[in-house]
């Protein structure tokens, strides 16, 4: 019988783990340098908690049987769990705001074909903070994280669901739902084929084209006859872009403004963004100012924003820059006879205490010297320590 993993589950072999850890360690260093502290939430939550904010479709949650009357589910993302964990705590002491938290673990989703999928995410949540500085911090933290892992050719696609929502509200109500769906999926053809009044179709096509270099899009917004009453929203977005450009945290045309970028559910309340690199979406996030109120015992809202990095996609995009081999053992300690075993263990222990040494392996069989040497060379081991029954050590270099 062949035992196979469920569809979507993953075994990470040592080289996979080494590459993943290479990414994670660098990202974690950035998170910590900005004052973010790690949080660990449970893998299993009540289904009602995972889906309370409206961002998670119950059908996408892998549900579990339990003795409780409540349905349990595996976490499909982290924001809801972190919001649940901190909603009440933030209200206990105003001085706790803002809270800077980061996470790094696996998540589970049920796919459209009813299969399951396990993936890994790392990300941050900035709870209890709003305004230009908070939004700017998250964007710049994301940019620094991508630069720290040496990702090339990435771009942040930035939208603002608040502004886009106001623009959509200018449409006649009977057309909004269909046009919102078409905008969210960037389906220009669908808009052109819809039976719409000429002025409505023209405006919808103008909305879907609000994408490109930030200054160009802002200029089009400012000069549009439709946006005369949106000066405040446009100026906020303009100020955020100016803040981004003034820091120099990311060189080149790293930022694309796209006001068609949104979700079909009512979860985000301000800026939203995703990071594209070639054919990979390596990160996404946004502002959610009403989610914590869903979990707070008195429905008190706390403005919040965050992002997550999709580690599998990031690993694929970084493949040529990641370690391609595992670190070799520095020394193989070999007992020449059964009487030398205690001395071999003692010598290996002594070598491991040397901070300059790497991994130390113990030969577990009594083989011929040629067989031991062949084994060591095949593993890339540079040195053998032959241990005699009287405790004498003979070093042999294989270079």
Residue ranges of domains in the chain, CATH in brackets: 14-321 (3.30.930.10), 331-397 (3.40.50.800)
- What does the pLDDT look like over 251-289, one tens digit per residue? 558 899 998 887 655 678 999 999 999 889 999 999 999
377/354 Cα distance (integer angstroms): 23
- Tell me: cis bond preceding 188? Omega within 30 of 0 counts: no
pTM listed for this prediction: 0.87
First to last CA, the chain: 44
pLDDT-derived band of residue 375, with 50, 70 and 90 as boundaries?
Answer: very high
- Residues ≥6 apart with Cβ < 8 Å to 193: none
Local structure of 355: helix, strand or coil: coil
Q: Which helix (H) or strand (E) holds 263?
A: none
DSSP structure class, residue 384:
E
Contact yes or no for 266/54 (Cβ under 8 A): yes
DSSP structure class, residue 359:
-
130/43 Cα distance (integer angstroms): 29
pLDDT-derived band of residue 53, with 50, 70 and 90 as boundaries?
Answer: confident
384/394 Cα distance (integer angstroms): 8
187, pLDDT greater than 90: no
pLDDT on residue 133: 96
Q: Which helix (H) or strand (E) holds 212?
A: strand 211-212
Read off the tokens for 352. 């491991």
94 compared with 376, residue with greater pLDDT: 376
- Residues ≥6 apart with Cβ < 8 Å to 110: 59, 60, 61, 62, 116, 117
Read off the tokens for 366. 């009594």
8/116 Cα distance (integer angstroms): 5
Per cent of the chain over pLDDT 90 is 47
């Amino acid at each position: 019988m062949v035992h196979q993993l469920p569809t979507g589950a993953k075994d990470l072999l040592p080289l996979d783990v080494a590459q993943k850890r290479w990414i994670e360690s660098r990202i974690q260093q950035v998170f910590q340098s900005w004052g973010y502290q790690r949080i660990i939430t449970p893998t299993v939550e009540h289904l009602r908690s995972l889906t309370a904010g409206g961002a998670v479709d119950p059908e996408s949650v892998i549900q579990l049987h339990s003795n409780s009357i409540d349905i349990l589910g595996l976490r499909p993302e982290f924001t809801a769990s972190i919001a649940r964990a901190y909603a009440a705590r933030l209200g206990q002491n105003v001085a706790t705001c803002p809270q800077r938290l980061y996470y790094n673990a696996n998540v589970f989703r049920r796919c459209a074909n009813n299969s399951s999928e396990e993936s890994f995410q790392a990300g941050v949540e900035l709870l209890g903070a709003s305004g230009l500085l908070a939004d700017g911090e998250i964007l710049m933290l994301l940019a620094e994280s991508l630069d720290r892992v040496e990702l090339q050719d990435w771009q942040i696609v930035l939208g603002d669901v608040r502004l886009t929502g106001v623009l959509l509200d200018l449409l006649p109500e009977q057309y909004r739902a269909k046009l919102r769906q078409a905008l969210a999926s960037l389906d220009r053809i669908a808009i052109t084929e819809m039976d719409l009044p000429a002025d409505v179709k023209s405006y919808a096509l103008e909305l879907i084209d609000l994408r490109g270099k930030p200054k160009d899009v802002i200029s089009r917004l400012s000069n549009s006859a439709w946006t005369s009453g949106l000066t405040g929203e446009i100026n906020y977005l303009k100020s955020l872009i100016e803040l981004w450009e003034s820091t120099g945290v990311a060189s080149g045309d790293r930022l694309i403004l796209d006001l068609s970028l949104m979700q079909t559910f009512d979860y985000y309340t301000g800026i939203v963004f995703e990071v594209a690199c070639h054919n990979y979406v390596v990160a996404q996030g946004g502002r959610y100012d009403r989610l914590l109120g869903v979990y707070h015992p008195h429905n008190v809202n706390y403005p919040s924003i965050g992002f997550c990095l999709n580690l599998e996609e990031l690993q694929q995009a970084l493949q040529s820059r990641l370690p391609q081999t595992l670190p070799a053992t520095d020394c193989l300690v070999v007992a020449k006879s059964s009487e030398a075993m205690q001395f071999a263990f003692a010598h290996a222990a002594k070598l491991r205490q040397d901070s300059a040494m790497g991994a130390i392996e113990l030969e577990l069989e009594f083989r011929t010297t040629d067989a031991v040497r062949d084994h060591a060379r095949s593993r890339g081991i540079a040195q053998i320590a032959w241990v005699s029954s009287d405790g004498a050590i003979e070093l042999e270099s294989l270079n």
